[in-house]
Amino acid sequence: MTSALLELHGHLIDSLILAKVIDRIQLSGYNYVLADLRVGARKQDISTAQIQVWAPSSEDLEALIQELKVHGVHLVANEEAEFVPVAQAGEVPEGAYTRHLPSTEVLYKGQWTEVMGSKVQWVIVLRPTGPELARASELNEGDRVLVGQRGLRTQQL
């Protein structure tokens, strides 16, 4: 068995996001514990939940996490985001992060930075001012594009 601590932020109760996440974990047949739940006191307040999940293998766990990302779930980890250079203008590197949810954040140089304007079919590029969105057609050779899922945090509203 392998486990991971997952976290989600947003309007978890009134939007039923927490219920959807727990339902999906239960449907998988994996064990879980709601490790922490902090519910906002007012309607406009953000809630936070942490869920420890156990799966038969790391592959099974990774597949579940990928499914849950649509609800804003992310691993609790302080791993820096990875950026790789673009080999050819307009070409998105293999494994580039191209799926964005509201309020995507990137952990870069020990600080969470919100990437404004998250949209589908865009990638996150490392600019001198920090991570930002760019269309694949705007990429230049040598631009550094975010790959993988490390150092990402999303918020479901």
Q: Pick from 4, 10, 27, 148: which is nearest to 75 by CA? A: 4
Structural domain count of the chain = 2
CATH of the domain at 54: 3.30.70.2690
pLDDT at site 87:
94
Asked if residue 88 and residue 139 are part of one domain, the reply reads yes
pLDDT at site 157:
41
* Residue where one domain finishes, among candidates 26, 44, 75: 75
pLDDT at site 25:
97
CATH of the domain at 131: 2.40.420.10
Calculate the average pLDDT of the chain.
84
Q: What are the φ and ψ backbone dihedral angles of 69, each rounded to 5 degrees?
A: -60, -30
Domain that holds residue 50: 2-75
Euclidean distance between CA atoms 142 and 110, whole angstroms: 23
In this predicted model, what pLDDT tens digit does every residue of 54-85 receive, in sequence order? Answer: 999 888 988 999 899 889 898 887 668 889 99
116-122 contacts at long range (C-beta below 8 A, 24 or more positions apart): 122/98
Asked if residue 101 and residue 59 are part of one domain, the reply reads no
pLDDT at site 88:
92
Provide block-wise average pLDDT over 10 residues at a time, the chain (157 residues).
Answer: 86 91 96 90 88 89 90 80 91 77 73 66 87 87 86 57
Q: Pick from 119, 77, 126: which is nearest to 102 by CA? A: 119
Global pTM reads: 0.54
CA angle centred on 126, ends 124 and 129, rounded to 5°: 120
